[in-house]
A and B are shown apart, each in its own frame.
Chain A
């Protein structure tokens, strides 16, 4: 064993959580080593998640918009799709973003090691380098930011190019004639939308009684309507029991909860049933770090594990598995390690499903309020009353605000509709600032925009929205 290298902070994993932590710690004056398998920071988000999927969803939107332009009397010929060019452009976005992060690593004089790290003991890491060989690193502190990977089905016994996870699906090797999406969560719906726009006949199976289980039903309803028109079929309360690549396609058995069965063959299957934390490969047994039964690392509000030298952030510590949550946690952990008093105490973490229409929420949802018995006042503004939505020919939208009865304090915001992902930001700001519905109502929003729907929803709490008439109850 060679003489171990020394560092103040070792960050394992360079996704949005890990690199945010490393950058912040370096800015606070710590000597930082960042370890990741990829050539540059970025992690799943940049290489195999958020960014490439959004590039493809942009392509899908262009296709959809072109098709729907006929509503305005604009007619295009059927598009020609050059998959090679589409992939290359998407990869260019990824390379540009990750390369930029690589430059930031060098600018901050962070030691970036390409390899896989595991613990020898609390303060010593063994790094198996991508280029070959091993090295040891001793650190005063470590941040676990190893992220998550797609969960697999036990039914999938053999490797088959016809059975994809999200990483494979993002490669769009081909446009299958028929595609089965197993799992009606956000990954399945986003990638299913891409393939549908590209011309695949897409079937979605979901075990729960609604798409996006957990999200508020009234929001999902608006999205589901649109999804029904772009997907071939949506099978709820249905389980895929077996699947088999028979050489011509993937033969699957779909079993409904009412007992009915059907056997179908699809050109390809996308398995998107969730993600699992990458906590098993780190040899955490060598440390005092505790892991729960689902594999999530246990942390306190400062993101400190049971081993006081080791912190953990991002997907590896639990839901919601979102890049922006990980980045925020990363900065908190870095600040704590640098001697600060930060804690991770968000009032609201926004979540966005980048389907068309987009669906987003932040803070309390109606489901959560009901489950926890928190009294809320709910106001909803349908986008049919929005001028901007009409000009877009996209009145399939809904904005709703959950407020605290009595004080009017905003506890949650949910939006479904075009651009909901951008609109949700003001909801999160309102919640973090402890704003009341009155504050939002009295804030001038630009006209004509979709953001007005938030202001108009707030007006409805007081019973008199400008564009919605509600007869007073008495």
Chain B
């Protein structure tokens, strides 16, 4: 079957680019996601991955040429022998409706009856129109014929061994399925992506991150081996995944909480009587839904497989709780519908439940945004890791009295440092700054936030 590779969406606001290098040649056998072009855009030089694998029949761009998203780049075939003429289809004008799938399948239009979609073998990547949770992209499994030894040079086999890759699993792109050094490296990169949890499941990603063998530390001194707890393992997996796959940006700002601190103290007793504790975290949780409504992308998830953003219309805020088992993040639901009093009480309850190991898995799922407050311990700033599939997290450090220059003089104010990390695929820097500033101003003038809501 012949497939057209068109220039895929490469990022927001990237409509076209100039080809700086063509990385494939006609006749090459390429794997899906293998880089095929180097493209210079307004933002950067990008490697363009192949939307589908197969034998390259024809290439329709050349170096120096401008190419727009959706334009034909190359034609590949997953069959061994294809008449060259079959592939030489005239280039379609870009104005034509952009293909929903990046892979357009050319099947002979002889039989109309059995639906073409069913008759055609599945493309290597799921079509973009697929509904509901898209499966993660799986690297093509090796389809080597025969059961003989692996077609890889000794140096390549050694490389695989040293970086912890099973050479038998690496798809070879060379003649006769030979595995090159680059094949091993790109497979290793793919393994990281492959370790992704399915988008729809929020709590614990199930797949393990790539592990690398460690030296024998006992050679240099005494050691003790402690088994990782379940919480630790899940945290390690989730954090590795997020750190590897979410392009993080962290921004810092400071909020003047002198006034809110006075209010907090004067109403603290009342909340305490209700069984809660009026903390800065509670105040933030109360304010956050307003911020998330104003900046809806901060309350979203990104579905790269289907190239869509999922904007959530509910505001469930996760709160990082330090327990003796490790970090737990119970979720307070529908914070936009709860009073500060309710939130304060609930926050005390979930924290207590987490510390006494009563939190259920369900109570930790479904969060849309997370707050992590290390202020009780100290520190002036930190870079929290986004809890995938959420796209942003707000870190709070210890508040302190600072001399602030205001109305022509230095005045002592209680300032709290805030650190906002977010997924740069979804949120741009300016929006990050605006969001964080909004939070700061809301803390400084809570009444404004109420006005806007």
Contact = CB atoms under 8 A, between A and B. Distances in A.
A62 interface: no
Interface stretch (B46-54, B149-157, B292-300, B360-368): B149-157
Contacts of A434: 150-153, 172, 174, 176-179
B213 A409 contact: no
B206 to A, nearest CB: 28
B176 A345 contact: no
Contacts of A404: 145-146, 148, 176
Given A339-B216, A341-B213, A343-B161, A436 B146 contact: no
Interface string A364-385: 1000000010110000000000
B175 interface: yes
Contacts of A345: 157
Contacts of A395: none
Contacts of B172: 434
A407 B162 contact: no
Interface residues of A, number: 25
A249 interface: no
A73 B150 CA distance: 52
Interface string A329-367: 000000000010111010110000000000000001000
Contacts, number: 60
Contact of B148 (A341, A406, A411, A438): A411
B121 interface: no
B111 interface: no
A135 interface: no
Contacts of B145: 404-407
* Residue from A345, A348, A409, A439 with most neighbouring chain B CB atoms (10 Å): A409
A335 B398 CA distance: 51
A341 B174 contact: no
B215 interface: yes
Contacts of A439: 175
A387 interface: no
A434 to B, nearest CB: 3
A408 interface: yes
Nearest to B147: A374
B175 A438 contact: yes
Contact of A432 (B153, B174, B219): B153
* Residue from B149, B157, B174, B216 with most neighbouring chain A CB atoms (10 Å): B149
Contacts of A339: 215-216, 219
A406 B215 CA distance: 43
Contacts of B154: 432
Interface in A146-160: none
A433 interface: yes
B162 A436 contact: no
B146 A375 contact: yes
A374 B175 contact: no
Contacts of B213: 341
B148 A374 contact: yes
B51 to A, nearest CB: 26
A375 B154 CA distance: 24
Nearest to B219: A339
Contacts of B146: 374-375, 404, 411
B175 A436 contact: yes
Interface in B162-193: 162, 172, 174-179
A49 B146 CA distance: 37
Contacts of A347: 149-150
Interface string B126-156: 0000000000000000000111111111100
Contacts of B176: 404, 407-409, 434, 436
A339 to B, nearest CB: 6
B177 A409 contact: yes
* Residue from B148, B175, B215 with most neighbouring chain A CB atoms (10 Å): B148
Given A339-B216, A341-B162, A341-B213, A407 B153 contact: no
Contacts of A343: 161
Q: Which 3 pairs between the two chains have the least Cβ-Cβ distance?
A: A434-B151, A407-B176, A409-B176
17 contacts: A339-B215, A342-B161, A343-B161, A348-B149, A364-B148, A372-B147, A374-B147, A406-B145, A407-B145, A407-B151, A407-B175, A432-B154, A433-B153, A433-B178, A434-B151, A434-B152, A434-B179
Given A404-B148, A409-B151, A434-B152, 13 more contacts: A339-B215, A341-B158, A347-B149, A348-B149, A372-B147, A404-B146, A407-B145, A432-B154, A434-B153, A434-B172, A434-B176, A434-B177, A436-B178
